[in-house]
Amino acid sequence: MLAIARATAALCAWIDTVSDTRSDAPKCFTSSEVDRLPERPDGRRRAEGGLRLQGRLQSPEPGRPLVSYVTVVRNAAATLPRTLASVKAQRGAAVEHLVVDGLSDDGTLAVIEAHARQIDYYVSEPDAGLYDALNKAVSVARGSLVCVLNADDWLTADAAATASRALLRVEPNVLNPAPRLLLTAAWALDGRQRRLWLPGALDAGSWLRCPDICHNAVYATPAAYRATGPYDGGLHIVADSLWLLTALQAGVALDAVPHPTVNYSMGGLSGDTRRHVAECAQLVQRRFPALTDDEVWGLLHAFYPHEPHLAPFAERSTADLGSFLTDLVARHGSDAALMESLQALHWQRQQGHAARVRPPRICRAAKLRRSLLKRWFEWRAASVG
């Protein structure tokens, strides 16, 4: 293990300095203007509390960003304590934690109230779903950066410090940072398996393949939320993908930070693969309204990255994907946005092939980089622990 540490020592310096910035990539949220949610006219708020209600408000300071973690929860009494503990354990950075509970009935509120002295603000009241609750939580964040932390996930020990350093490298004014997303990595946990989920590219092609980015490893400035507007509560699974793509369209700066900041539990709502595919079809239709329903599904069958998940929609495919794409380009060649997305995915590779052409495999250098990163962070976590 020492040999691995020595072999990857240079990697550490690179990780701490890398910043892959791409800026080509409705009044909503502000920072520090709202400290608590407004009273409900229906009187259905069950509880409200936290340090803020005792007059203890945090704010960013010059050279010292504040990282806001927002957690929305319903019936997660078994896993929430680990989430709360991971926020409390952060060192080397200023953090606040906001928790919005959707009237849990399994003892979750008791867990929250037992940890009230470490939570900056919490509320328990009805909501219209996950993304409605997220919009409420983000609206009261005071930080230079905002990160969504699920109630069954937990932070790495240096998550907030990593995000703070990354922001300070690119933002001289942490009191009012520019519209920006820090796309960090995640440990994706599926049973006993753990893989390093590095942020994928966020570009025009992402509309057709869906972003390969862990939403819970994204740190957004308040200005980024103002640029994107709120999460779309009409979507149940991919509203975070739409939010990322809206940030891309709005010209929000994107910085890839290949450092894991969260342990992300696979499954949950995102584990409903059939619904995920169906909602991705809605995203394509929204972005390219001139497309017919058959054209939308043809594009998904050509580019959606998880091909086995398309099986329930096999009847929506086309017999010859190569001819389909050639004809589609001929019909919609004047649609600049669609052509940009197709070019980003190198659609020409499919020409002359009826069956789907698999994308090129990851090159050996990329595999080696991922392997070295994974080993480095595993060794680093073990040495800290």
Q: Has residue 5 got a pLDDT over 50?
A: no
Structural domains counted in the chain = 2
pLDDT, greater one: 379 or 153: 153
Give the chain's mean pLDDT. 89
What mean pLDDT comes out for the span 216-221? 98
User: Would residue 119 count as lying in a domain?
Assistant: yes
Positive or negative CA dihedral for 219, 228, 21, 65? negative
Same domain, 215 and 300: no
Burial class of 311 by CB neighbour count within 10 A (0 to 12, 13 to 18, 19+): exposed
Same domain, 263 and 296: no
Do the Cβ atoms of 303 and 345 come closer than 8 Å? yes
Same domain, 265 and 278: no
Domain with residue 152: its CATH number is 3.90.550.10
User: Would residue 379 count as lying in a domain?
Assistant: no
The domain of 192 spans 18-271
pLDDT band for position 71 (cuts 50, 70, 90): very high
Do the Cβ atoms of 71 and 138 come closer than 8 Å? no
- Give me the pLDDT at residue 17, please: 43
pLDDT digits (tens, 9 = 90+) for 352-384: 999 998 877 666 666 677 778 777 777 776 665
CB neighbours of residue 233 within 10 Å: 16
- Give me the pLDDT at residue 191, please: 81
Same domain, 199 and 293: no
The pTM of the full predicted model, rounded to 2 decimals, is 0.88
Do the Cβ atoms of 87 and 97 come closer than 8 Å? yes
Same domain, 52 and 187: yes
Same domain, 210 and 296: no
User: Would residue 357 count as lying in a domain?
Assistant: no
Which residues fall within 8 angstroms of residue 371, CB to CB, at 6 or more apart? none
The count of residues in the chain is 385
Percent of the chain whose predicted confidence (pLDDT) is above 70: 86
What mean pLDDT comes out for the span 336-358? 94
The backbone region for 191, taken as left when phi is positive above 0, alpha when psi lies in -120 to 50, beta otherwise, is left
Percent of the chain whose predicted confidence (pLDDT) is above 90: 80
Same domain, 262 and 319: no
Same domain, 31 and 150: yes
User: Would residue 7 count as lying in a domain?
Assistant: no
- Give me the pLDDT at residue 1, please: 42
Q: Has residue 27 got a pLDDT over 60?
A: no
What mean pLDDT comes out for the span 114-123? 97
pLDDT band for position 270 (cuts 50, 70, 90): low
Q: Has residue 77 got a pLDDT over 90?
A: yes
Same domain, 178 and 263: yes
Which residues fall within 8 angstroms of residue 378, CB to CB, at 6 or more apart? none
Same domain, 153 and 291: no
User: CA 145, 124, 59 angle in degrees (round to 5)?
Assistant: 25
- Give me the pLDDT at residue 31, please: 43
Same domain, 323 and 183: no
Do the Cβ atoms of 249 and 243 come closer than 8 Å? no
Same domain, 279 and 237: no
Question: How far is the C-alpha of 187 from the C-alpha of 193, rounded, in Å?
Answer: 10
User: Would residue 355 count as lying in a domain?
Assistant: no
Q: Has residue 46 got a pLDDT over 80?
A: yes
pLDDT digits (tens, 9 = 90+) for 106-117: 999 999 999 999
